[in-house]
Amino acid sequence: MTPLTYRGPVLMLAALCLLASATGHATGSGPVVRLFPTTVLEDIRETGQVAEDMENNLQQVIHRLDMQQQLYTESLCQGADGDQGCERIAKQLGATYLEMLEVMSDRLPEMERAVNSTRSSLEKRLRQELGQRTTPTSLQNTLLGEAGTATPNAEERPALRGRSGVRLSDRFKQYYDLVSTSKNGPSQSLAVVAADIYLDMEEASQLIAFTQQEISRAALMEQLNQSFGMITPEMSAVVSGVKEILFGETAMESPIASPPYAIGEPEFESPLAM
Amino acid sequence: MLRHAKLLLAAPLLALAAACTTTSPDYCAVDVRGEIETAMRTVETKLGSGCEYHFDGYFQSLLTLAEANPDKNNRRYFSDHLMRVQEMGVISRRQAEGLYNRYFNVKFVSLQGDYNTCSQTCPIRKQVMSDMQAELHDKELGLLRASNDAASFYRADHLLKETDLVLEATCRACVAGGTR
């Protein structure tokens, strides 16, 4: 049983808490920005579940692929034309690669639907709440957490885009937890989280569409290659891409970060301040 | 004929009178140094006696002086100075606010407006971000170097990055709304 399975009843409670905290701030800081209604939360949760299913299906195949690749490299097969042993490894590698493509081909449509659904619901909220109902001035206030709300601690702030080394499903769990259990009041970090998830979904959506296009072409190429036993750069690129998306196996990009806010004496308030 | 002669006589007299009221460049020159508050008072005296067109130069000199003598109170001194200069009528309230906020506030003057984000900011997003980046440099001078307020400066820096991210997503959503 995955941790997400427990969250059914928690979902409603979290959404209610979010709504309550949002209403609480409405009095002091202008219009309330509601970026994560229950429908969006449900989309995020479901996308995480679909990603987890896909990972579980692919993990074993990709592990086998890695082992075969390692064997191929360690056996110094690169450029060893005519070696029967190497040809056999290459064919096995190609067959596993085809298996991976088949699994992806089966799973990607569902993933695509879930990702597009999340992207589309967030897109609507961002457009309505931050694009149409917010002015540049109030957007700035929202990001700063106007009306004297406490600035969040560094560890409570969401890590922003570019996090690697994180499984796709874990990333969705983080998103979900972050949004559904938000303690810092509405809008402040949530605008950033919403933007973060939306841009991630945009990229994922494009990548899925691209991968789907590539799968049929790659499968055909690999079927041809099976007769010759070749490991093509395309194969490596596709496998790397899949691993990067699903398992976050790339070099760490630096997230948006700054030194933590210092807690000190009250700040000087100028009558000229915005 | 007589009218022409009067004009010929009046012209040099007018020129002489103008020369008396116009201050010489040396008169407006201020050696801005020492205590920042004292330097501000000196500058204000000059501004009140015909040197108001030197305001920008004075302000930059005061910032340089503050940078050389960082102090958390500098932020308040500049606020008070700008208030007094505004009350003297040298600059408008809007100019005073603009200058104070540009150098000493976490919030960005470059990100303001009364229309919605889709219509006002998105069409010129790159320009807005570029202006905010330039403003961050001024905040570095005002908040970090002159006021020793690293926390506020990093907050402004973070706000800039968050704004970049949120605007990118929001503006994409705005465009998608127009096309989908």
Per-residue confidence (pLDDT) for residue B112, from 0 to 100: 92
Contact A199, B168 (CB under 8 A): yes
- Best B108, B166, B168 member to test A by mutation, with max A CBs in 10 Å, is B166
Please say if the pLDDT value at position A92 is more than 60. Answer: yes
pLDDT digits (tens, 9 = 90+) for A219-232: 777 666 665 556 66
pLDDT: is A111 or A181 the higher one?
A111
Helix (H) or strand (E) holding A134: none
Q: Which two tokens stand for residue B121?
A: 């900011």
Q: Which residues of A touch B159 (CB under 8 A)?
A: 140, 143-144
- Best B93, B117, B143, B174 member to test A by mutation, with max A CBs in 10 Å, is B117
Q: Is A127 exposed, middle or buried (0-12, 13-18, 19+ CB in 10 A)?
A: buried
Indicate the residue of B72, B117, B150 with minimum beta-carbon distance to A130.
B117
Q: Do A272 and B172 touch (CB under 8 A)?
A: no
- Residue found by looking up tokens 């040099």 in the block: B12
Q: Do B177 and A123 touch (CB under 8 A)?
A: yes
Q: Which residues of A touch B116 (CB under 8 A)?
A: 131-135
Q: What long-range pairs does B77-86 form, CB within 8 A, spacing at least 24? A: B77/B36, B77/B37, B77/B40, B78/B103, B78/B104, B78/B142, B78/B146, B79/A268, B79/A270, B79/A271, B79/A272, B79/B104, B80/B40, B81/B40, B81/B43, B81/B44, B82/A272, B83/A271, B83/A272, B84/B44, B85/B44, B85/B47, B85/B55
Under-50 pLDDT residues of chain B: 1-2, 7-9, 12-20
Instruction: For chain A, state the CA radius of gyration.
Output: 23
Q: Do A196 and B172 touch (CB under 8 A)?
A: no
Q: Do A199 and B105 touch (CB under 8 A)?
A: no
Quick check: helix, strand or coil at residue A228? Answer: coil
pLDDT digits (tens, 9 = 90+) for B11-60: 544 444 444 455 565 889 988 889 999 999 999 999 999 999 999 999 99
**Among A255, A48, A271, A247, CA closest to B76:** A271
The alpha-carbon gap from B15 to the nearest alpha carbon of chain A, in Å, equals: 42
Residues 6+ apart with CB under 8 A from A248: A163, A164, A165, A166, A167, A168, A171
Give the Cα separation of A248 and A257 in Å (integer): 20
Is the CA virtual torsion A38, A40, A43, A45 positive or negative? negative
- Residue found by looking up tokens 């001078």 in the block: B141
**Residue B52 sits at the chain A interface (C-beta within 8 Å):** no
DSSP letter (8 states) at residue B54: G
Give the Cα separation of A229 and A94 in Å (integer): 7
Give the Cα separation of B167 and B120 in Å (integer): 12
**Among A137, A154, A179, CA closest to A256:** A154
Q: Do B97 and A196 touch (CB under 8 A)?
A: no
Compare all CA atoms of chain A with the CA of B98 and give the residue at the minimum distance.
A272
pLDDT: is B127 or A99 the higher one?
B127
Give the Cα separation of B96 and B100 in Å (integer): 6
Contact A143, A188 (CB under 8 A): yes
Q: Which residues of A touch B129 (CB under 8 A)?
A: none
Give the Cα separation of A237 and A25 in Å (integer): 48
Helix (H) or strand (E) holding B157: helix B150-179
What value does the mean pLDDT take over residues A141-156? 57
Per-residue confidence (pLDDT) for residue B59, from 0 to 100: 97
Per-residue confidence (pLDDT) for residue A21, from 0 to 100: 37
Indicate the residue of B111, B151, B161 with minimum beta-carbon distance to A140.
B111
Give the Cα separation of A193 and A125 in Å (integer): 12
Q: Which residues of A touch B161 (CB under 8 A)?
A: 160, 256, 258
Per-residue confidence (pLDDT) for residue A231, from 0 to 100: 61
Q: Which of residues 160-179 of B touch A (CB under 8 A)?
A: 161-163, 165-174, 176-177
Q: Do B165 and A202 touch (CB under 8 A)?
A: no
pTM: 0.71
Q: Do B169 and A256 touch (CB under 8 A)?
A: no
Per-residue confidence (pLDDT) for residue A226, from 0 to 100: 60
Per-residue confidence (pLDDT) for residue A203, from 0 to 100: 84
Q: Do A144 and B159 touch (CB under 8 A)?
A: yes
pLDDT digits (tens, 9 = 90+) for A100-112: 888 888 888 998 8
